[in-house]
A and B are shown apart, each in its own frame.
Chain A
Amino acid sequence: MAATWNNEYYIALEGRDLQANAMAVDNSGTYVLLAGRRYIAIRNLDEDLEVVQKFPRQSKYDVGAAEWNPTNHNRELCVISSNQRLEVLTWRSQELIQTHSLRAHTRVITDLNWHRSDPSLLASCSVDTFIHIWDLRDARRPSLSLSAIAEASQVRWNKISSHLLATAHDGDIKIWDQRKGTAPVQYVAAHLSKIHGLDWNPNVETQLATSSQDNTVKFFDMNNPRRAEYVLTTNAPVWRARFTPFGNGLVTVVVPQLRRGENSLLLWNTANRSTPMHTFVGHRDVVLEFEWRKQRAGSLDFQLITWSKDQTLLVWKIEPFLQKLCGHEPDETREEIAISNESSEVVKIKKKTSPKIQPLQQEFSLLNVHIPNLEVTAMDPVNRTCTVFANVYNFSVYLQVSFPNAYPHGVPPTFQILHNSSVTEAAGAQLLQTLNHLAQQRVSKNRTCLESCLRQMVTTLEQLSADSENDRIFDNSYTEPNVFGGYNDAYIPFPRTSGAKFCSVGILVCFGRAPHTRRFSGKVEATTPRALSALETVFSKRSSDHVTVSAYYYQKQRLRVKQHSRNASKAIVHVYDVSGLLLTNRQLAEEYILDGDIATICKHNAASAAVVGRWDLVQAWTLAELIACTRNKDEEWYNHPFGNQLSEALISHYAQHSDIQMAAMLSCIFGKNEVNSSHQSKKSLKYTNDTSPYHAIPPMDLPSDEWVFPTLKHMRSTSLDNLRLNEIKNLLPKKNPSSSLHEYFKLSYAETLHRWGFLYNRAEVLKYMCGPPDKHEGVEFFTHCKNCLKPDLYGKHCTCSNCKKFSLNCIICHLSVRGSANCCIVCGHGGHTKHLKQWFEKRDVCPSGCGCRCLTETATIFAT
């Protein structure tokens, strides 16, 4: 190995473009497989050069887990999981060939594990609650399926017994025996939080280590699973804890977090669990996977291979003294004899002096200086000082850090804000307090603290400056929007996860969380937080792996409810018909008529209301009939002051109940009377005007009394009467204020009908509108008189306004057209709608014989 070792590790690979999230080391310790969504790469560790073979992958899914077959017999086999599939790859003569692709599960595969000794057995587990054991000799279906009821996150074969395997389900463990596949042989309620990792002790058949979100690693004896044999407590959630191949050591790694934090691996001695034996410092980002390499022949060192999110593959050398710290006595065959002869006291001294491996200089060299808003101005390992400059918004701080000789073993560095800084006294004091606290925490565990302190410094300054200028809206740079975490989140409201919206007419759309979700509450909080930043603070306390809104609600579920939550997706939207709560009735809207004389309308509508069972409306319609219908001229109720008031009272009663349907219908009915009376008055006016100007106007026809409804400025009635109303306008009383309310009811009801798609009924209602009709926007047609050859811009009539002749003769019957007509836009021929319809039912050529294919050509004009 000619690779350059940087004290304790060397960089085997820096693959920026790989984006791998799974790593596996083969049985011989030669090849490392890195798998990501786009590539699978294989690195030969025995080669000095950074030779990587890359194989592109065509998949939209990331690789979940990867593992080489641990047996010699099938050592070229490697399995990776991709969503619900298992892909078995064969690595032979520098070629990677896919030999199996199993659709193994119905949901995403969470973990897989080769059998330790049987070369063709593979176990996989999934969110679909099953644990399948596959025999690659016949991989069409699993050779054994274990049904666990709860989703499994980890599966591990026992390293000694060939029949046992363990699976992790949230906070619990199940132990299975291949020979008894129906139910687990042991059930261990191990943790209260989620178990992230499982590992069997390679030397003790019944011992299992579990690493969990609750910051602990517990060791269980399967013969006595009631309580943990012993517990190892760390200060962060543990992602994986794996036994070392030597001694009784254990390596742990923290859960990959969203925020940059602890990137180191810790080496523990399981016999002495108070402090870690060693910290592997080197990665600039979280460690995604680590694995032991098979011990090289003739070497005393063990090697640990780690792959981190910073896209570097590091190979760590575990020297004999470290092995010794874990209670392992290396084979003293060569120069190590000297050490072995030393007394245990020397070992102690060795332990004391072990900090020398990590002198201050090394920490400086490892410091990632690319911290936003921070600049390291000076690093002096001789005088043991470091000076940094941070510039956050309105604060610029020069900070000097001095490291005592004993640092980092229980002695924190001292921090000092230099005088040329611009920071308020209070903020400076708070900054120093925070830094001292953090440094003390870390050095009490014999860990270095410079980088984390510097990051904390920037964060603290940002918070302080945000506090001091709460009202200012920061023009901060564009942050990665995909992830919650911008500090601006403090101003963004906490997302809604349930809601109800009224839509269309009687539809209520509801969405919400599944009923059994529980809030992930760090403290006992009575209410939901208000800002999005609450997510971040909760998760920085808990250090979960995913910061999303759903994680906030779903994290803490217990197993039994989890089962349900998976079956019932968390994103169900219910659409309710709440029209039963509204007074507006869809069936009535369809049944009601407005065409005909009032007595018929009222009778028909009363009958419709009776069919629906609305007896209150039957009464109302009967009453309306009484009011509105004039049986004989002596008892015209509508024109009677009492009748008028009664109709008003009826309408406002329904309006107050928000029964827009009834209010609008009654407005129409009484409006109809109004229309009739105004018609009458118009006609009589015309009559009187025509016959004799001196004739007295019959008082009955004169709508001059206050209680008579106003006549309309312009009517949209079915009659073709084109009388102008200007003459009688002066005689009419002032517009009644309630009439605009009536118009409003009609309009609202028309919209309701429109939403229901009852276009005919809507048009009927709109015909009763008194206001001017909608101004037409869009294409308008004018007739171009064929006799006088002038455009008729005013005429909406069948005669030309210039020459008074009929403007259109039907091309079929050759009579002039009054009323409904249709013309071809291309050739201009046309005539009675009825005639043209009959013609074009059979033919598609113009009846004039001009050769125009009217139907198709008109269609093409509108298409373009």
Chain B
Amino acid sequence: MTSPIDIEGGGTSVVVDGEPGPETKGEAVKLDGRSPGQLMWLRFRRDRTGVISAYVVGFFFLVGLLAPLIAKLYGKNPYTVYADERPDLFDSAGVPVQPNGGIGGDFWFGLEPGNGYDVFTKLIYGIRTSLMISVAVTVAVVVTGILLGVAAGYLGGRTDYFIGRVIDFLLAFPAQLFFIASMPVVVSLFVSPRDETPTYVRVVALILVQWFLGWMGLGRILRGTALALREREFIEAAKVSGASPWRIIRKEILPNIVTPLLVQATYLLPNFVTAEAGLSFLGVGIVEPTPDWGQMFSKASTQLVMQNDITYMFFPGVSMIIFVVAFNLLGDSVRDAFDPKTAR
């Protein structure tokens, strides 16, 4: 990785006769080329904004992943109703006696007015829930986008026409409205309205609904990329040597769509995080007592919390802004690293 790129090494640099020794090895190592991926990684590492954003994003994922461990070390969990456990901390209306929701050594981010949940554990568990859902949606969208986009682009003709019209049709939907309207419908497909809805059903419904209207943009981009790649001569070269369409897609096209795929995925994920938060805020996503990022906003905007504990809003708000901004900056850096020629 440290050796300089030796582009015009053709035929002159290594003439080793006899003496296979450590020197030969060194030369061999030097002659290993850098893959486009390695070059991208080198460029990315030079981008300070990108690296810092990557650390921030990584930190959020780590927090989400290790939420149970952190909560254990911290000694609390998000489901404990402190209004019952420690009634001394609350007044008769259920508002923490201490200012700012009772922020202190025991409760770092304070307590939630009303039920008295611990805000810190609630936040990290909320991040965990939101990120899990968003990652699942992103994975589903990426898989769908690859399958349909590459199929449309590579096969062309009728397949392309059909998939293209489906994309047009779905893009015409007002997404946010559709989410709100269809969430209860999707949930009721799984559970009868009279029963208590299990959390996992809501999670699955959220993933399904967002996936259904989320894949078209990526699908279109990948269709375009596949369409452009199909006309390249290396595809014809593969055909001349008798490669099957499946092999061409797998070995020749897929490695070449990694660039737009990664760039788009880094833009999609923060969008899904905010969309999911929006749904939970509106009350059609994750509901109490399951902690969720967006649902904390909805809690913060209730009259009880608004009037008595304005700092409550601060924690989900600031953390989400940092996360979304960092992730979008990361997306920009990934794009810059992958194709340095396009100006922003």
Asked if A pairs with B, the answer is: no
